[in-house]
Amino acid sequence: MRNIWTVFKKEIYRVFSDRRLILTLFIMPGLAIFLIYSLMGNIIGAQETQVSEYEALIYTENMPAEIKTLMDESMHYRLYDGDALDQATSEQKVLEGELELVLLFDEDFTQKVEAYQTNSLPDIEVFYNQAEQRSLRAYNLFNGVLNHYHETTVIERLSEPSDYQVFDLQTQNIMDERAFAAQGFAMLLPMLIVIFLFAGAMSIGPDAIAGEKERGTIATLLVTPVQRRDIALGKVLSLSVLALLSALSSFIGVVLSLPNLMQMDDTMPDVSIYGMSDYLIILVLLMVMVLFIVAIIAAVSAYAKTIKEASMLIMPFYFLAMIVGVMNSFGGDVSHDVITHLIPIYGPVNLLSGMLRFEYQTVNFMVTVLSSLGYTVLLIALLNVMFKSERMMFQK
Partner 1 sequence: MLSVEDIKKTFTLSKKQMKIERTNDKKKVAVDHLSFEARRGEIYGLLGPNGAGKTTALRCISTLIKPDVGTIKVNGVDTTHHAAKVRENIAFLTSELKLDDHFTPNYLFRYFSALHNVEEQTMLERKKMLFNRFGIDQFQEVKIADLSTGMKQKISIAIALVHDPDFIIFDEPTNGLDILTAKTVIDYLLEMRDAGKGIIISTHILSVVEKLCDRVGIIIDGALKAEGTIDAVCQTHNHDTLEDVFFALMQDAKGDEHA
Question: Residue 224 region, left (φ>0) first, then alpha (ψ -120 to 50), else beta?
Answer: beta
Q: State how far Cα 217 lies from the chain centre.
A: 43
- Nearest approach, Cβ of 16 to partner 1 (angstroms)? 10
Least CB distance from residue 231 to partner 1, whole Å?
Answer: 9
- For residues 378, 382, 383, 384, the Cα torsion angle rounded to the nearest 10 degrees is 100
CB of 236 to ligand ATP, least distance (A): 25
Residue 134: CB atoms within 10 Å: 19
Residue 384 beta carbon to ligand ATP: minimum distance, rounded to whole angstroms? 20
Between 116 and 394, name the residue whose CB sits nearer to ligand ATP.
394
Q: Which does 215 bind (CB under 5 to 8 A by kind): partner 1, ligand ATP, none?
A: partner 1
Residue 336: alpha-carbon gap to chain centroid: 21
- Residue 388 C-beta: closest distance to ligand ATP, Å: 15
If the CB atoms of residues 19 and 391 are measured against ligand ATP, the closer one turns out to be 391
Q: Does 396 interact with ligand ATP (rule: CB under 6 A)?
A: yes
Site membership for ligand ATP, residue 219 (CB under 6 A)? no
CB burial readout 46-83, b (16+ within 10 A) else e: eeeeeeeebebbbbbeebbeebeebbeeebebeebeee
User: 358 or 394: whose CB is closer to ligand ATP?
Assistant: 394
Query: Residue 225 or 332: which CB sits closer to partner 1?
Result: 225
Choose from partner 1, ligand ATP, none: what does 333 bind? Cβ within 5-8 Å by kind: none
- Backbone phi, then psi, for 391, in 5-degree steps? -55, -45
User: Nearer to ligand ATP by C-beta: 182 or 302?
Assistant: 302
Residue pair 369/284 in contact by the 8 Å Cβ criterion:
yes
Between residues 13 and 164, which has the closer beta carbon with respect to partner 1? 13
Binding site partner of 271, from partner 1, ligand ATP, none, Cβ cut-off 5-8 A by kind? none
Is beta strand 101-105 parallel, antiparallel or unpaired with respect to 124-127?
Answer: antiparallel
In the bound state with ligand ATP, the residue whose beta carbon lies nearer, of 60 and 306, is 306
Q: Which is nearer to ligand ATP, 119 or 395 (CB)?
A: 395
Q: What mask of x and - would describe binding to ligand ATP in positions 365 to 394, judged by CB under 6 A?
A: -----------------------------x
Question: Least distance (Å) from partner 1 to the CB of residue 219?
Answer: 6
To the nearest whole angstrom, how small is the minimum distance from the Cβ of residue 391 to ligand ATP?
Answer: 7
Q: Whole-number minimum distance, CB 309 to ligand ATP, in Å?
A: 16
- Candidate list 49, 87, 217, 395; residue touching ligand ATP; CB under 6 A: 395
Query: What is 79-115 written as a DSSP string?
Result: E--SS---HHHHHHHHHTTS-SEEEEE-TTHHHHHHT
CB 196 within 8 A of CB 28: no
Please report, to the nearest 10 degrees, the dihedral formed by the alpha carbons of residues 351, 354, 358, 363 taken in order: -40
52 binds ligand ATP (CB under 6 A): no
Handedness of CA 115, 117, 120, 124 (dihedral sign): positive
How is residue 159 annotated by DSSP?
S
The answer to whether the beta carbons of residues 272 and 335 sit under 8 Å apart is no
- Positions that interact with ligand ATP (CB under 6 A): 394-396
